[in-house]
Amino acid sequence: MGQMPLYYFLFVFGAGFALSAALTPVVRRLAMKTGQVAAPRAGRWHKKDTAVLGGVSIFCVTMTVWLAGAGYSGWITYGHPYLPLMACAGGVFGLGLADDIFNISPQHKLAGQIVITSVLMFFGFRLGWTDSETINLLLSILWVVGITNAFNLLDNMDGLSAGIAFIAGAFLFLFIYLNPGYSGFSGPVLLMSAAYLGAILGFLIYNFNPASIFMGDAGSLFIGFMLASLTMIGSPPQQAGRGYVNLLSVIAIPILLLFIPILDTGFVSLMRKLFHRRISQGGRDHSSHRLVAVGFSERRAVLILYVFSILSGLIALSIIRFGAGVSLVIIALYLLFILFFWIYLAKVRVYPEETMASDGKTGVFTPVLIKITYRRRLFEVLLDLVLITVAYYTAYLLRCEGDLGLNFDFFLKSLPIVIACQILAFYVFAVYRGVWEKTSLRDLVGYIKAITAGSIVPMLILLFAYRFYSFSRAVFVIYWGLMLILVSLSRLSFRLLDEGVRKTNPEGQPVLIYGAGLGGQMALREIETNRELGLTAVGFMDDNPGIKRRKIRGYPVFGGEEDLEKIVKKYLVKQIIVSFKEDSHKKKKVLTTLCRDMGVQVDVKEMKLVIS
């Protein structure tokens, strides 16, 4: 039987969605009646008793729709060969369900996953990343078990694990559908993916914030196992003689599709290791929790991770469309952005310890990582090494219109000269003496000087050594512009993130800042960065009518004294901070009298900058 048309798979998806949307409320009522609920406790995110058997709905719908679809499509092709996979998925679901009901220890749960995955390997389902069957077998077990547990760890906030699974599965479906020759199992994988995606989306309606049901370990282990298996059988083996470029695309595509679960698991594992905590220990230290800690709402934190997952999926789709060179540049730039963003999240305080540097216990890796992330000189040099290579390679790609051809040899010949000259220029112009978090626009002058020197000196050396034969001046002009952009963005990354993220404290008392000048902005900065104050800013008030209804640093300017009563009652303001340079004491008295006349309890304080 030939390949089924797209509308058939859309029908399978719709059937799964409708059935899951109808079954999930039934499962929720059953869980509440039988006491299968997750109660709020320390280290967990939810604040009310919530049903935990949502995985039953996902599993039952996926299996039912797949069996019906495979029977209709042709059991011999679409069903029978994949019975071992679905049976093993059922085993993982049963293992998770047992954990939800009886609370299995982590080591026993892991052992069960390895046994079930080994059974799957016995039936021939495995990766084809290398020419060695032994290595492929070990990588396949590591891949399936790792992804399964990654989605289990990712299930830490309403709608996060299910949403990421849906996005990754959707991009896998699109990738296989748009590239049918990429995998020999396109039809069956599309059928399983369609049933799986419909079941997840129907459940996600009830799991998105505020969630009325959780999927539990039964659901998170099942969706992780299914995605790991689908990416595994949907990926082709490495073709002999195709070289590292083909190997890179073979490995990069499944990793990019599941990048966020992999990243979050690695990130949490590393941070817990550095702070001497068990990796299996629960806690509010995942990427989603850190996003909330810097000021995002729960919904927005989940949506941000959705966006990262979508970007990863789009890059995976682009690998086949673009050449290897362009794909490498896109992946490199994306990974650099990921690096800066997650380093920023790593700085968020989520543990009782003050910092990694203040921890008395030091493991094998801790001192090295402290030097890299806190002293940062080694990190900056290594980062610049990557930036120089990416910028220079991209300059060649742009000059050669995406195909280096014979110019690749000239790129390799000149790259060491460019790296040496640029790093030396950074030292000479004191780029490495700056403090990363305090980088400002004034530092751009030094960057321009260093990058200009790092562009001109290599040209002079190539002119002296090779008479500049077969080298292009346009490459160095393009390199200069790209390097300036990359270095500036990398150094300003933390400042840009600080400016772009409103660091509200959801548990703090609402405070109004009277005075939108420099003093008011200083007060706002202190409120945002010092959580020990227990305050959260709602906006500014100012007597200047010209800035009324404007925004400063993302906060509204409400107006003057005439708007005070309306604003205090609307935002339940508990404190007012007067930030005037002059006559602030008089303004404090006026505001105190107004609040007393309104009959509201508002503490009016005066901000003072004391230098002694």
Q: What is the CATH number of the domain that holds 573?
A: 3.40.50.720
Burial of 460 (0-12, 13-18, 19+ CB in 10 A): exposed
Q: Are residues 581 and 541 in the same domain?
A: yes
Q: In what order do the strands lie in the sheet with 535-541?
A: 535-541, 509-514, 575-578, 603-606
Q: Would you place residue 374 in the very low, low, confident or very high pLDDT band (cuts 50, 70, 90)?
A: very low
Of 92-101, 468-477, 508-517, give the lowest mean pLDDT range: 508-517
Q: Are residues 173 and 258 in the same domain?
A: yes
Q: Are residues 224 and 276 in the same domain?
A: yes
Which structural domain range is residue 295 located in? 7-34+47-346
End of a domain among 444, 467, 498?
498
Instruction: Classify residue 340: in a domain, yes or no.
Output: yes
Q: Are residues 556 and 492 in the same domain?
A: no
Q: Are residues 54 and 92 in the same domain?
A: yes
Instruction: Classify residue 353: in a domain, yes or no.
Output: no
Instruction: Classify residue 40: in a domain, yes or no.
Output: no
- pLDDT (average), residues 546-572: 80
End of a domain among 346, 362, 385?
346
Number of residues in the chain: 612
Q: Are residues 161 and 194 in the same domain?
A: yes
224 Cβ neighbours under 8 A, 6+ residues apart: 147, 148, 149, 150, 151, 152, 165, 261
What does the pLDDT look like over 291-307, one tens digit per residue? 988 878 899 999 999 99
What does the alpha-carbon distance between residue 459 and residue 465 come to, in Å, rounded to a whole number? 10
Q: Would you place residue 47 in the very low, low, confident or very high pLDDT band (cuts 50, 70, 90)?
A: low
Q: Exposure string (b/e) for 524-534, b if CB count within 10 Å is 16 or more? A: beebbeeeeee
Instruction: Classify residue 397: in a domain, yes or no.
Output: yes
Instruction: Classify residue 67: in a domain, yes or no.
Output: yes
Q: Are residues 429 and 342 in the same domain?
A: no
What does the pLDDT look like over 579-590, one tens digit per residue? 866 667 787 788
Q: Are residues 56 and 138 in the same domain?
A: yes
Phi and psi at 23, nearest 5°, equal -80, -35
Q: What is the pLDDT of residue 44?
A: 57
Tokens 């393009």 -> residue: 478
The amino acid present at 250, given as its one-letter code, is: V
End of a domain among 498, 523, 538?
498
Phi and psi at 408, nearest 5°, equal -60, -35
Q: Are residues 164 and 260 in the same domain?
A: yes
Instruction: Classify residue 72: in a domain, yes or no.
Output: yes
Q: State the DSSP H helix or E strand holding residue 201, giving kind and residue range, or none if neither.
A: helix 186-207
Instruction: Classify residue 132: in a domain, yes or no.
Output: yes
Q: Are residues 420 and 325 in the same domain?
A: no
Q: Are residues 563 and 445 in the same domain?
A: no
Q: Are residues 492 and 595 in the same domain?
A: no
- pLDDT (average), residues 39-58: 77
Our count of domains for the chain comes to: 3
CB atoms within 10 A of CB 587: 20
Summary mean pLDDT of the chain: 84
